[in-house]
């Protein structure tokens, strides 16, 4: 393979070679179905955390020249030579296939099936890394606001912190029951269409019932495609690392078309910036 050829996307859906060592309880599954989210204290062997962290940190540092094409500043415009305030790598498994061979991923694949049913498979992963004392939260959003408005989905994300996740360093917050809503109006973060991230238009949803999910390292939160969620900025002196696995039961054309004007604004702004 030529050194600059794009790396192939791994077969995320491939059955795990390892048998799951942890599964969800019927009570946890019932909680997820009712609330649209779930927090679990431990989804992986604790002795695997240092290895996963090492791979993770390498992707954002030593291997940055390889991951650059999939590395974004989620909450702002990427600037040459400037570190991201909220750094995101799409498909880290493409750059570090060893991640997909871990007991962690084997466990998450089994848990996805428990939550959404047979046929559910992993479709991708991402990594969101908040540097110490960063200035940006990941604002309130629904994941489906990022996806194709011509399709309907049943999907979930599993968010795994590689150090304890707290209110201070940026744990996940959810609005219980918000998975039952339609996709609410979103806009690019800060209303800047060159920002890749999205936020709920301020005032368009009642966030007063939000709950924080603090977790030990190697725990996880689970949420559906419409569950409203957010993480605050990292006020600690360490990185706040999260590995995220995405699973799908189905994605199919919608009977009624919809438009996500926020995506159209972003596409138009990106095209104009590429021309100038």
Ligand X SMILES: O=C(O)CCC(=O)C(=O)O
Contacts with ligand X, residue ranges (CB under 6 A): 128, 138, 143, 157, 159, 170, 229, 231, 242, 244
**Residue 230 or 273: which CB sits closer to ligand X?**
230
Nearest distance from residue 7's CB to ligand X, in Å?
Answer: 23
For residue 212 the two structure tokens come to 């924080």
Q: Which residue is nearest to ligand X (CB)?
A: 138
**Residue 183 or 242: which CB sits closer to ligand X?**
242
Nearest distance from residue 269's CB to ligand X, in Å?
Answer: 22
**Residue 103 or 231: which CB sits closer to ligand X?**
231
Half-sphere exposure of 169 (CA within 13 A, CB side): 22
User: 217 with 162: CB under 8 angstroms?
Assistant: yes
Nearest distance from residue 171's CB to ligand X, in Å?
Answer: 9
**Residue 18 or 164: which CB sits closer to ligand X?**
164
DSSP code string of the chain = --TTSPPPPP-TTSPPSSPPS----HHHHHHHHHHSEEEES-SS-GGGHHHHHHHHHHHHTTTHHHHGGGEEETTS---TTS--SSEEEE-HHHH-GGGGGSHHHHHHHHHHHHHH-TT-EEEEEEEEEEPTT-S--EEEE-GGGGS-TTEEEEEEEEEEESS-B-TTTT-EEE-TTGGGS-PPPEEEGGG-TT-S-EEEPTTSS--TT-EEE-B-TT-EEEEETT--EEE----SSS-EEEEEEEEEEEEEE-SS----HHHHHHHHHHHHHHH-
**Residue 170 or 188: which CB sits closer to ligand X?**
170
Nearest distance from residue 168's CB to ligand X, in Å?
Answer: 14
**CA 93 to CA 98: how far, in whole Å?**
7
Nearest distance from residue 275's CB to ligand X, in Å?
Answer: 31
Nearest distance from residue 219's CB to ligand X, in Å?
Answer: 14
**Residue 235 or 276: which CB sits closer to ligand X?**
235
Nearest distance from residue 113's CB to ligand X, in Å?
Answer: 19
**Residue 18 or 210: which CB sits closer to ligand X?**
210
């Amino acid at each position: 393979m030529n050194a600059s050829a794009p790396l192939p996307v791994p077969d995320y859906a491939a059955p795990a070679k390892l048998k799951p060592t942890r599964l969800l309880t019927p009570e946890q599954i019932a909680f997820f179905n009712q609330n649209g989210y779930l927090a679990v204290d431990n989804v992986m062997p604790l002795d695997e955390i240092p290895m996963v962290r090492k791979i993770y940190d390498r992707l954002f540092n030593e291997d940055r020249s390889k991951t650059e094409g999939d590395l974004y500043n989620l909450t702002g415009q990427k600037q040459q030579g400037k570190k991201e305030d909220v750094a995101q790598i799409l498909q880290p498994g493409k750059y570090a296939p060893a991640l997909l061979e871990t007991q962690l991923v084997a466990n998450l694949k089994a848990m996805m099936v428990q939550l959404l049913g047979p046929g559910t498979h992993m479709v991708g992963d991402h990594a969101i890394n908040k540097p110490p004392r960063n200035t940006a939260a990941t604002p309130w959003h629904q994941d489906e606001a990022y996806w194709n408005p011509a399709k309907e989905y049943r999907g979930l994300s599993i968010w795994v912190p590689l150090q304890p996740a707290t209110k201070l360093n940026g744990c996940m917050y959810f609005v219980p029951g918000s998975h039952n809503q339609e996709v609410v109006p979103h806009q690019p973060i800060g209303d800047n269409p060159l920002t890749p991230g999205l936020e709920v238009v301020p005032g368009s949803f009642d966030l007063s019932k939000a709950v924080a999910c603090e977790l030990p390292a190697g725990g996880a939160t689970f949420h559906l495609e419409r569950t409203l969620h957010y993480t605050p900025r990292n006020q600690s002196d360490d990185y706040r690392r999260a590995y995220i696995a995405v699973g799908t039961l189905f994605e199919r054309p919608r009977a009624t078309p919809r438009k996500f004007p926020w995506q159209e604004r972003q596409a138009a702004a990106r095209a104009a910036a590429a021309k100038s």
